[in-house]
Structures are given as C-alpha cells and as structure tokens.
Structure 1
Amino acid sequence: MPFALGIVVAATMAGKAMARVQPRIIAGIGSLLAAFSMVMFSRLSVDDSPAAAVLAATGGPTVGEDVSYWGQVFPYLITMAVGMGMVLAGLTPASLHRVAPEDTGVGSGLFNAAQQLGGSVGLAVLSTVSLHFAGQRTEQVIEPITTALPGDPVGVQRALLEATFTEGVTHAFLVGSFLLLIASLIVWTNTRMEPHETGTDETHLG
C-alpha cells in the first residue's frame, strides 16, 4: 500500500513539475533514487547462519525478525516508490515526443506494452539471480542443517529457506540497482525534450 500510494503521489507531483523541468531530469533523478533504494535493501543485515536457521525451523525467532520495518525498510520503500513515480511521469510524455497526433494512440500502446514486457523480463532476471545465489548458499549450509535436524525433512526445508532466502534477494537487489543505473544513463543521454514540449495538460500520466 505505501509503495502504490508513493508512486501515485510522486507521479502526480512530477507531472506538474514538468511544466518547468525537463522530463529527463525528473526521470533521471527518479531512476537514481530507485537504484539507491535497491542498494539500501541489499544492505539489510540478518543472522542467516545454519544455527539461526535451525532455531527458526524448530519454533524459534525467524531470521530477520529483529529487522525494524519502520526504521530499516519503510524509508527505502518510500524512496523507491517516489523514484519509480518520477520515472513513469518523466518517460510517459517523452515516449510520445515528436509522434504525429494521429499516431499517439499507437505510440501510447507501444509504451505500455514495453512497460509490461520490461516488468516481466526484469522479474524473470531478478528471480533467476535470486535462485542462483540461493542455490549456492544451499550447498554451503545443507550439511550442518541436515546434521542438526536428522530425520526431519520438513524442518530441513524450512531451515534451508531461512538460511538461503536473504542471500538470494540480496544479490537480486544489487543486480536490480545496476540495471536501474544503466536505465538512468540511457535516460540522461538519450531523452531530449523541453518542458514546453511535454503537453502536460493533455498528456495522460497514469
């Protein structure tokens, strides 16, 4: 909910700012803000040692239970939402720059299709990265976990999830931040549009 609301508020405010600010500045800053948020998510530190994972699987505190949502997650959830809202607001009018009026429907459709495709491909890439590093972590912790939980396959699976999840998503966040930096570079170097060309009053920013 905070993420969705943050995007809506940021996109609305950024849309109004485009009457004075170039879209590439808005989208460029937004992509950098989103990349920063990803890096900060990757820096969350938890005890995912085999001992802690076994304890969690046998009724103890879950790995990461001591992480403060409001202090360590929520701030960067908001900066991520604001950044993505700025990116969407900045790139939507830029996608129709110099498109003939009779072709705006097609241009808008292509932009939305690219947005959906990019989200799907991005999710697939980050999921693959997460599973790869989680698999590597599994090879490191499976022996001490199975030794600590003999004859308990369900407990072993729970402990493995506790011990490997953080490793996977940490690397996924880092790869995501790298991809956002590449996107930011593309925005800064290839978006050429002045505020008076955005047609802010007529362009749909949703």
Structure 2
Amino acid sequence: MPFRILANRTRATSFVVMMLVPAAMFAMFYFLSLFVQNVLGYSPLKTGFAFLPFSFGIVLAATISSKLISRVDPRWLAGIGTALAGSALFGFSRLPYTEAPGNLGVHADYLTDLLPFIVMMSLGMGLTFVPLTLTAVHGVGDRDSGIGSGVLNTMQQIGGALGLATLSTVAVHFSTEKAQSLGAALQAAGSGNGPAPSAAEMDRVRGLVEQVAFTEGATHAFLTGAGMIWLGTLIAVLFLNVKHEELASDGADPVHLAA
C-alpha cells in the first residue's frame, strides 16, 4: 500500500523534500543548542528563550503560507521556503572565530550572528511545511489518507535521523582535525625558553581549543545542511508540478443534481 502512495510523482517529490528538510533542521537545533550553551555560556533556560523567536517565526510563516497556497503554486512556496532555510544554515556556517595563538577564541554574538538566521530559518520552515504537507496527500483517497499521512511522518523522522547522523559525522571529522592542528601549533609556539604556563592557563587554553574545534565542526555541518536543503529547493522547483487550483479542489465534494 505505501508503494501506491509513492507512485505519484508529485507525492514522491513532497516526501523526498520533506526528508531533506528535517535532515538539516534537526541537526541545526542539535549543534546550535550545544554552541549556545558550551561556547556562548548560556544556561539551559536561557538557551530555550534564545530559540523562542523560531516558534513565533514558523507560526507566522505557516499562517502566511496557508493563505497564499490558494493563489501560488506549491513549488514556489516550497522553493522560496527551502531557499531561505538553506541561506540561514549558510549564515550559521559563518560563525566567527580566530585561531592565532595570541587571540584564540570564538567571537560570535547572539544578536548579530545567530538571531537573524534563527528568524530566517523559522520563516523558511513555515513557508515549506504547509505546501509540502498538502501536496503529499494531494489526490489520496479517503481510504488511503491515513497511510499517506503515516508515510509523510515516517519520511520526516527518517530524514531527521539520517541527517543528524550524517552531519554529526561531518562535524566530528572537522572538529578532530582542528583540535589536532591547534594543539600542534600551540605546542610549537610554547616550545621556546619562556616560563612554563600555569595549570590554570593550560586549562583556559584547552577550553578555548575545544570551543574553536567545536565551532569548526559545527560550521561545516551547517554548510553541509545548507547544501542538502538547497538540493530540496531544486527538487521542489523542478518536480513539484501540482497547481494551486488542484489543491483548492481537493476538499470539494462532488455535487449531484437531481434529474
């Protein structure tokens, strides 16, 4: 039965894009929450408040998208939404840090380096989910509506799990490389005849190395996620060919005229 649901090209396209989008979005929350707490030093409660704009933005964009869906084809709403989301992840991939021995550290600020892209990501997700959900169940009969919804939710969860696993692998690879290179550079810089650093200074430097290495891995994960979502943009624009007039007629029951 699920294979019959996927046989339609428009629905299959929606399912594929709906798998790519959570793949990057779930990873964004994972890496960004760790960055805000472990690098910026926010408490868990303050971190939760830092993500509140995302909730407001996605509700606003979903409301706008639900009103536009009767006048704009889904491919353009989903295409714009995924393009915005990919741009937000690209913005996260530009988190600033320096690795010079005398100026080692991450120099990101929540208001300038995170908040604008959190809002952009929320708007992109709100614009994306409404048209993809509607096209995923477009043309599905009443008998198969539960299966269609189940396949859609399954694709979201599979995409989120695979995306987090993939981007975590990317992040760990680049974090490990950066930590090793920074450790070697600091060891070479400290191999002179000067006084040996104190234990407190060593702990401080070690903490800065960990922050920079984590940021290096997270930024590469964000960049990879941006590429995944932009791939979804391309797929949506090229293959999500259902018209908004067709979606508007999905809920209309046929009217039988008496002879």
TM-score bin (small chain): 0.7 to 0.9
The amino acid of 2:69's aligned partner reads M
Q: Distance in 1 between matches of 2:71 and 2:134?
A: 14
Q: Match for residue 196 of structure 1?
A: 245
Q: Match for residue 27 of structure 1?
A: 78
Q: Which 5+ residue runs of structure 2 have no aligned equivalent?
A: 1-51, 191-195, 252-259
1:23/1:200 Cα in 2 relative to 1: closer, same or farther (>3 Å)? farther
The amino acid of 1:171's aligned partner reads H
Q: Match for residue 176 of structure 1?
A: 225
1:182/1:174 Cα in 2 relative to 1: closer, same or farther (>3 Å)? same
Q: Which 5+ residue runs of structure 1 have no aligned equivalent?
A: 54-61
The amino acid of 2:92's aligned partner reads F
Deviation at 1:145, TM superposition (A): 4.1
1:158/1:200 Cα in 2 relative to 1: closer, same or farther (>3 Å)? farther
1:141 to 163, 182, 186: 182
1:63 to 94, 103, 106: 106
1:3 to 42, 50, 54: 54
Q: Distance in 2 between matches of 1:186 and 1:177?
A: 14
Q: Distance in 2 between matches of 1:68 and 1:200?
A: 48
Moved more, 85-94 or 97-106: 97-106
Give the TM-score normalised by structure 1: 0.83
Is this contact kept in 2: 1:18–1:200, CA < 8 A? no
Q: Match for residue 73 of structure 1?
A: 114
Q: Match for residue 136 of structure 2?
A: 95
2:96 aligned with 1:39 = no
Q: Using the aligned pairs only, state the percent identity.
A: 36
1:108 to 139, 149, 157: 149
Q: Distance in 2 between matches of 1:149 and 1:183?
A: 50
Is this contact kept in 1: 2:99–2:182, CA < 8 A? no
Q: Match for residue 38 of structure 2?
A: none
Deviation at 1:151, TM superposition (A): 5.9
Q: Distance in 2 between matches of 1:95 and 1:51?
A: 54
Q: Distance in 2 between matches of 1:8 and 1:125?
A: 28
Q: CA RMSD in A?
A: 2.3
Is this contact kept in 1: 2:92–2:114, CA < 8 A? yes
Max Rg structure: 2
Deviation at 1:8, TM superposition (A): 1.7
Query: 1:134-175 CA distances to partner (integer Å, 9 max, x unpaired)?
Result: 111112011344657576785564233123112111111111
Is this contact kept in 2: 1:46–1:63, CA < 8 A? yes
Deviation at 1:51, TM superposition (A): 3.8
Give the TM-score normalised by structure 2: 0.67
Secondary structure, aligned partner of 1:21: coil
Aligned length: 192
The amino acid of 2:106's aligned partner reads V
1:22/1:149 Cα in 2 relative to 1: closer, same or farther (>3 Å)? farther
Is this contact kept in 2: 1:149–1:155, CA < 8 A? no
